[in-house]
Chain A
Amino acid sequence: MSDQHPVELILARGLATNLTTAVFLVDADGTLLFFNEPAGALLGVQFEEAGPMAADEWGARFAPTTPEGDPLSVSDLPLALAIGGRAAHSSMRIHSATGEVRDIEVTAFPLAGRSGQTGALAIFWDRSS
Chain B
Amino acid sequence: MRMRICGTRGSVPTPGLDSARYGGNTSCVHVQLSDGTHVILDAGTGIRNVNRNGTDAPIHVLLTHLHMDHIQGLLFFAPLFRAGAEITIWGPSAGAIPLRNRIGRYMSAPLTPVEIRELPSHLDFRNCPIGEWRLGSARIHAEAVIHRGPTLGYRIEDADATLCYLPDHEPALVGPLDQIGDEWLSGYTLARNADVLIHDAQYTDEEYPRHGGWGHSATSHVVEFAARCDVARTVFFHHDPGHTDAQLDRVLDDGRERWAQRGRDPATLELAKEETVIDVGLPVA
Residues of A whose CB lies within 8 Å of any CB of B are 1-8, 10-11, 13-14, 17, 113-115
Contact = CB atoms under 8 A, between A and B. Distances in A.
Contact of B130 (A3, A4, A115): A115
Given A7-B143, A8-B144, A17 B174 contact: yes
A10 B182 contact: no
Contacts of B174: 10-11, 13-14, 17
B52 to A, nearest CB: 35
B146 interface: yes
Nearest to A7: B144
Contacts of A14: 173-175
A4 to B, nearest CB: 4
Interface stretch (B33-41, B183-191, B256-264, B266-274): B183-191
B192 interface: yes
Interface of B: 92-93, 130-131, 141, 143-146, 150, 173-175, 182-186, 188-189, 192
A10 B143 CA distance: 13
B186 A3 contact: no
Nearest to B191: A4
B175 to A, nearest CB: 7
A63 B184 CA distance: 29
A7 B145 contact: yes
A61 B173 CA distance: 32
Contacts of A2: 189
A5 B182 CA distance: 9
Contacts of B131: 115
Contacts of B144: 6-8, 113-115
B146 A5 contact: no
A114 B99 CA distance: 14
A10 B186 contact: yes
A84 B157 CA distance: 35
Contacts of A114: 92-93, 130, 144, 150
Contacts of B92: 114
Contacts of A10: 146, 174, 184-186
Contact of A11 (B93, B146, B188): B146
